[in-house]
A and B are shown apart, each in its own frame.
Chain A
Amino acid sequence: MAKDLYPQTSSLRIRRGIWQGIWLCCLGVVLAAGFNGIRVSGSIPWAGQWPIASAEDIAEISLREAWSRFQEGTTLFVDARDPLSFKQGHIKGAWNVPPGEAGRSFDEIRILAQAGLVVIVYCDGAACPLGPALARTLQQRGVPSVRVIADGWRQWRQAGYPVEGGER
Chain B
Amino acid sequence: MKKRGMVWFIAPVFRLVIGIIFLYAGIMKIADPSGFAQALYNYRLLPGWAINPLAITLPWVECVAGASLLFGIWTLGGGVVASTLFAVFVAALGVNLIRGLDISCGCFSTATAASPITWLTVARDLLFLGMAVSVVFFDQGVMALDRLLHKKV
Contact = CB atoms under 8 A, between A and B. Distances in A.
B140 A150 contact: no
A9 B1 contact: yes
A162 interface: no
A10 B33 contact: no
B18 to A, nearest CB: 14
Nearest to A125: B102
B61 A29 contact: yes
Interface stretch (A42-50, A100-108, A114-122): A42-50
Interface string A47-61: 111111111100010
A163 interface: no
Interface string B55-99: 111011111110010000011111111001000000000000001
B51 A50 contact: yes
Contacts of A6: 75-76, 139-141, 146
Contact of B74 (A8, A10, A20, A54): A20
A129 to B, nearest CB: 9
A13 B137 contact: yes
B30 interface: yes
Contact of A8 (B1, B8, B42, B147): B1
B127 interface: no
Interface stretch (A31-39, A68-76, A90-98, A138-146): A31-39
A29 B60 contact: yes
Contacts of B103: 126-127, 151
Which of A20, A21, A51 gathers most chain B CB within 10 Å? A21
Which of A10, A28, A35, A36 gathers most chain B CB within 10 Å? A28
A84 interface: no
A165 interface: no
Given A28-B61, A42-B33, A16 B76 contact: yes
15 contacts: A2-B141, A6-B139, A6-B146, A10-B137, A17-B136, A24-B61, A24-B77, A28-B57, A36-B56, A44-B55, A44-B56, A53-B45, A60-B99, A62-B100, A154-B102
Interface of A: 1-2, 4-6, 8-10, 13-14, 16-25, 27-29, 31-33, 35-36, 42-56, 60, 62-63, 126-127, 150-151, 154-155
Given A50-B48, A62-B100, A127-B41, 19 more contacts: A1-B8, A6-B139, A16-B76, A19-B77, A20-B77, A25-B61, A28-B57, A28-B65, A35-B60, A42-B33, A46-B53, A52-B48, A54-B45, A56-B47, A56-B48, A127-B38, A127-B42, A150-B101, A155-B102
